[in-house]
Structure 1
Amino acid sequence: MNKVDAPRWGHACATILRCAASDIDVKGPWLFWSAPPSPALRGSLERHGQLVPILVDAGGARPVLVAGAARAAILAELGREVLCLDIGALSDEARGLAYVQSNADRELTDGHLVLAMRYFLSLPGCDMESVLEALGLDARSKRLRLIRSWLRLPRRWDGLLCSGAVPLACADLLETFAPEDLSVLESLFATLSWSRGNAVNVLTWIREVCARDGVKAAAVLEGLGETLAAGLSPKDTMSRITQEVRRLRYPMLAGMERDFAETARKVSAGTRWRVTQPDLFESDAVEVSVRVTSAGELRAAGAELVRMAAREDLDDLFPVVRK
């Protein structure tokens, strides 16, 4: 380990060191955002060498990496010495904060924040006010409340959040499920990336079916195995799952929608008219619409409407009235 120079930052002395990569401890848990090095960084280090030092704490028997894991990994592969900035002996909390500050230009996702919060909350006596400030979190924000709910989930769910498979908005819902239910629910997200709205809806409906019928999530999802294994596109798979879970939650409504769709198809067959139910059968309203681009088309559509009005099965379009 060779000293290059000793610049002074404020009241602290920071020393530049040149170390063999094998001498550096790179396993610190405060490196919670570490990811595989990018090809761009690898190419830069290969062509131009290391232009920015990594941060280390050299106060012990060997330097401990505080920030710069990607550069350290690439330089180790290249068999090159590593330029290090020794920022002094630090506590685990200070190492974590230094790591966060060294990534100040990073746009923090919900996954990043959860990983950071798990680390800092594991430290006894950690100054969380400083942590929240460093992470840009308002202590009274909805985002922090959802993060705290997420932190009560098993750690294995963090990967699903970081990959975008599960949105943070589901934290409150997921927290209400028993551990065995959470294990079952993982199958919905293992290979699918859900939008916020669809994920919240599906989880809400599953929870409500469980409460209504007194069953576990496994019973609700029992019929979804074929859909998950059907080889459909992710979009089609999520659409079919959403429809099926909604049907389980609202069986009467689903039946009314199915019957209405069949009747509307028969009534409008061979015409350019579109027949829809606009408000989930909260009323007996039916919308009948057409798009035309000429007077001739309008006259033809009018004649079609007259024929439709003469049908004897029109009452089937108004199930609310019949009941």
Structure 2
Amino acid sequence: MQPLFLHPRDLDLDAPHLFWATPPDDALTASLATLGQTTPALVFPGEGRPVLAAGARRAAVLRVLRGRTLCAVAVEPQDMEPELAALPEPLRLGAVYLASNLGRAVTDAMAVAAARYFVAAGGAEAYETLAASRLFPDGDRRGALVSRWLALPPALDALLEAGHVPLGAAGALAALGAATLDALWPLLTAVRWSRANLANALTWLTEAARLAGEAPEAILGRCGALDLPGRGLSPNDLAAGVLAALRRARYPATTTLEARFAALCRTVTPRGSKVRLSPSQGFEADAVTVTATAKSPAELARIAADIAAMAAAPDLPRLLRVAHEDDPA
């Protein structure tokens, strides 16, 4: 391998095969400024100017340090395995860059970025052969999830990197149409979704649309969820509000009964009481479950008094038969 000393500005630091390149941090900048470059970059000599194969962050720092050159090692085809040397240049560059960075912790977003590069450069087979086998050990289910994610628009990759959308939601998102994804975009960018919450939201949305015989984006447009991101809610309240709006769209009767039950509970339960009432599942029975926790005889006596007061409350009969009561509205 031939050592070279190059001016950093002569190298393309935005080449597509540098799919994990990120801006240098302060620690790397300080190290190169004080100690100099201790690890050479890798370049392919080529017929024109050298092509950077690895070391983009070092080159970026040296660009702004006056009078510095980049120490690099030229990787010649004869230095490679025959199978690697025979690859088209885009795949060879990607394979060398990937191999030189495998010591890094690979996030889901990084795995998707690598996958998109290899699929674009050589198709799904090139990705499976050159990247997937190196990125994911046997039994790692992330490999299958990344393959599903590749069916999604690349614009979603930024949301994956930012932590707004989890890799595990790839299948559910891929099942949506383009118009639905576009309509969901404000919610995908506003909420940091867990896999379970996003799965519930998409299930409620698509089921509500199927029952109504409408497109999901039509349901989304009138359920109120899209009005919430601009109200200055906390992240937790925003997520809860969006989920509640979508659940109402899917289960309008159940959520109406839940709201009516909660309102009646406030009139039946003494203020400050530790007694909690809950309806039967799905409001299928005219019954309530009474729960309370006592840590002392005095607390138990207070709970007993509260239950006695609740038994005498005028609204208790309505609470027990809430599913049969006509909507007061």
> Structure 1 residues 237, 170: CA separation in 2 closer, same or farther (over 3 Å shift)?
same
Tell me, yes or no, if structure 1 residue 18 matches structure 2 residue 18.
Answer: no
Instruction: Give the equivalent residue in structure 1 for 2:181.
Output: 182
Instruction: Give the equivalent residue in structure 2 for 1:86.
Output: 74
RMSD over aligned CA atoms reads: 2.2
Tell me, yes or no, if structure 1 residue 265 matches structure 2 residue 266.
Answer: yes
TM-superposition CA deviations, 1:125-147 (whole Å, max 9, x none)? 62622322211254x76433322
- Aligned-pair CA distance for 1:321: 7.6
Tell me, yes or no, if structure 1 residue 291 matches structure 2 residue 278.
Answer: no
Instruction: Give the equivalent residue in structure 2 for 1:135.
Output: 135
TM-superposition CA deviations, 1:242-282 (whole Å, max 9, x none)? 11111111111111111111122221123331222374546
Counterpart of 2:71 in structure 1: which amino acid? L
Corresponding residue SS for 2:94: helix
Asked whether the 8 Å contact 2:270–2:310 carries over to 1, the reply is no
Counterpart of 2:7 in structure 1: which amino acid? A
Corresponding residue SS for 2:14: coil
> Equivalent pairs: percent with the same residue?
36
> Structure 1 residues 299, 235: CA separation in 2 closer, same or farther (over 3 Å shift)?
closer
TM-score in terms of structure 2 length: 0.86
TM-superposition CA deviations, 1:133-173 (whole Å, max 9, x none)? 211254x7643332222111111111111111111122111
Asked whether the 8 Å contact 1:54–1:84 carries over to 2, the reply is yes
Counterpart of 1:291 in structure 2: which amino acid? T
Following superposition of structure 1 onto structure 2, how do residues 12-91 of structure 1 map, counting pairs within 5 Å?
14-79=1-66, 80-89=68-77, 91=89
* Structure 2: gaps of 5 or more residues: 78-84
TM-score in terms of structure 1 length: 0.87
Deviates more, 1:280-289 or 1:38-47: 280-289
TM-superposition CA deviations, 1:11-70 (whole Å, max 9, x none)? xxx222111112223332111111111111111111211111111111331111111111
Counterpart of 2:119 in structure 1: which amino acid? L
Corresponding residue SS for 1:124: helix
Corresponding residue SS for 1:108: coil
Tell me, yes or no, if structure 1 residue 121 matches structure 2 residue 119.
Answer: yes
Counterpart of 1:96 in structure 2: which amino acid? G
Task: Give the count of matched residue pairs.
Answer: 309
Asked whether the 8 Å contact 2:187–2:226 carries over to 1, the reply is no
Instruction: Give the equivalent residue in structure 2 for 1:4.
Output: none
> Structure 1 residues 30, 273: CA separation in 2 closer, same or farther (over 3 Å shift)?
same
Aligned partners of 2:24 and 2:174: how far apart in 1?
34
Aligned partners of 1:294 and 1:256: how far apart in 2?
35
> Structure 1 residues 313, 210: CA separation in 2 closer, same or farther (over 3 Å shift)?
same
TM-superposition CA deviations, 1:164-197 (whole Å, max 9, x none)? 1111122111112221221111111223321221
* Structure 1: gaps of 5 or more residues: 1-13
